Amino acid sequence: MRRFLKSDYLNEDSWAIVRPTNGAFTLFVALHTCDTVSAYGFMTDDYSKYSNYYAEKRLGSEVIFYMNHDLILEKNLWKNFHNKKILKLYQRTGSKGAKKQ
Protein backbone atom coordinates (compact mmCIF):
# COMPACT_ATOMS: atom_id res chain seq x y z
CA MET A 1 0.00 0.00 0.00
CA ARG A 2 2.83 2.41 0.75
CA ARG A 3 3.91 1.98 -2.85
CA PHE A 4 0.82 3.95 -3.89
CA LEU A 5 0.15 6.16 -0.87
CA LYS A 6 3.40 7.94 -0.03
CA SER A 7 2.08 10.90 1.91
CA ASP A 8 4.24 13.94 2.60
CA TYR A 9 2.96 13.65 6.18
CA LEU A 10 5.27 10.64 6.60
CA ASN A 11 8.20 13.09 6.67
CA GLU A 12 6.84 15.01 9.67
CA ASP A 13 7.40 14.41 13.38
CA SER A 14 3.94 12.86 13.78
CA TRP A 15 4.48 10.30 10.98
CA ALA A 16 3.47 7.42 13.27
CA ILE A 17 -0.22 8.45 13.24
CA VAL A 18 -0.43 8.70 9.43
CA ARG A 19 -2.36 5.85 7.85
CA PRO A 20 -4.67 5.24 4.90
CA THR A 21 -8.41 5.45 5.52
CA ASN A 22 -10.46 2.32 6.12
CA GLY A 23 -11.91 2.88 2.65
CA ALA A 24 -8.42 2.76 1.15
CA PHE A 25 -7.67 -0.53 2.92
CA THR A 26 -10.96 -1.92 1.64
CA LEU A 27 -10.32 -0.83 -1.96
CA PHE A 28 -6.84 -2.37 -1.93
CA VAL A 29 -8.25 -5.67 -0.63
CA ALA A 30 -10.93 -5.57 -3.33
CA LEU A 31 -8.37 -4.76 -6.03
CA HIS A 32 -6.26 -7.74 -4.97
CA THR A 33 -9.14 -10.21 -4.80
CA CYS A 34 -11.78 -9.17 -7.35
CA ASP A 35 -11.77 -9.16 -11.14
CA THR A 36 -13.60 -5.83 -11.30
CA VAL A 37 -13.99 -3.15 -8.63
CA SER A 38 -16.46 -0.26 -8.56
CA ALA A 39 -16.41 2.41 -5.85
CA TYR A 40 -18.74 5.22 -4.81
CA GLY A 41 -18.55 7.68 -1.96
CA PHE A 42 -14.89 8.66 -2.05
CA MET A 43 -13.45 12.17 -2.11
CA THR A 44 -14.21 14.15 -5.27
CA ASP A 45 -12.44 17.11 -6.85
CA ASP A 46 -15.40 19.31 -5.89
CA TYR A 47 -15.65 17.92 -2.33
CA SER A 48 -16.30 21.35 -0.81
CA LYS A 49 -19.79 21.39 -2.38
CA TYR A 50 -20.89 18.34 -0.35
CA SER A 51 -21.39 17.36 3.26
CA ASN A 52 -18.72 15.36 5.05
CA TYR A 53 -20.93 12.27 5.24
CA TYR A 54 -23.52 11.05 2.75
CA ALA A 55 -26.11 10.55 5.50
CA GLU A 56 -25.67 14.18 6.65
CA LYS A 57 -26.28 15.85 3.31
CA ARG A 58 -28.89 18.21 4.77
CA LEU A 59 -26.72 19.25 7.70
CA GLY A 60 -23.98 20.62 5.45
CA SER A 61 -21.03 19.51 7.60
CA GLU A 62 -17.77 20.48 5.96
CA VAL A 63 -14.98 18.04 5.17
CA ILE A 64 -12.31 18.27 7.85
CA PHE A 65 -8.78 17.26 7.00
CA TYR A 66 -6.86 15.63 9.82
CA MET A 67 -3.19 14.77 9.53
CA ASN A 68 -3.72 11.04 10.09
CA HIS A 69 -5.36 10.60 6.64
CA ASP A 70 -4.09 12.18 3.43
CA LEU A 71 -7.49 12.42 1.71
CA ILE A 72 -6.25 14.43 -1.27
CA LEU A 73 -3.53 11.84 -1.95
CA GLU A 74 -6.15 9.06 -1.82
CA LYS A 75 -8.55 11.06 -4.05
CA ASN A 76 -5.86 11.50 -6.67
CA LEU A 77 -4.89 7.81 -6.51
CA TRP A 78 -8.48 6.57 -7.04
CA LYS A 79 -8.93 9.06 -9.89
CA ASN A 80 -5.67 7.82 -11.44
CA PHE A 81 -6.80 4.18 -11.07
CA HIS A 82 -10.14 5.11 -12.65
CA ASN A 83 -8.43 6.81 -15.59
CA LYS A 84 -6.26 3.72 -16.10
CA LYS A 85 -9.39 1.50 -15.89
CA ILE A 86 -8.08 -0.32 -12.82
CA LEU A 87 -11.34 0.45 -11.03
CA LYS A 88 -14.63 2.16 -11.86
CA LEU A 89 -15.04 5.25 -9.68
CA TYR A 90 -18.53 6.71 -9.45
CA GLN A 91 -18.61 10.32 -8.31
CA ARG A 92 -21.64 12.50 -7.83
CA THR A 93 -21.73 15.95 -9.35
CA GLY A 94 -24.22 18.71 -8.78
CA SER A 95 -26.62 16.72 -6.59
CA LYS A 96 -29.63 18.41 -5.00
CA GLY A 97 -28.02 17.86 -1.59
CA ALA A 98 -24.89 19.78 -2.58
CA LYS A 99 -23.99 22.81 -0.51
CA LYS A 100 -24.07 26.17 -2.26
CA GLN A 101 -20.81 28.08 -2.45
pLDDT at 83: 94
What CA–CA distances, in Å, run from 23 to 20, 30, 32, 85, 95? 8, 10, 14, 19, 22
End-to-end CA distance of the chain: 35
Identify the domain containing residue 59 by its residue range: 8-90
The closest of 87, 4, 93 to 49, measured between CA atoms, is 93
pLDDT at 87 over 70: yes
Note whether residue 3 is domain-resident: no
Residue 95 in domain? no
Q: Whole-structure pTM over 0.85, yes or no?
A: no
Q: Among the residues of the chain, which ranges form H helices?
A: 22-33, 71-83
Closest of 4, 21, 11, 3 to residue 71, by C-alpha: 21
Assess if residue 70 is contained within a domain.
yes
Tell whether 100 is covered by a domain: no
> Do the domain assignments include residue 35?
yes
Task: With respect to residue 62, please indicate whether it lies within any of the assigned structural domains.
Answer: yes
d(CA 45, CA 75): 8
Number of domains in the chain: 1
Give residue-wise pLDDT tens across range 7-46: 777 777 777 777 888 889 999 999 999 999 999 878 878 8
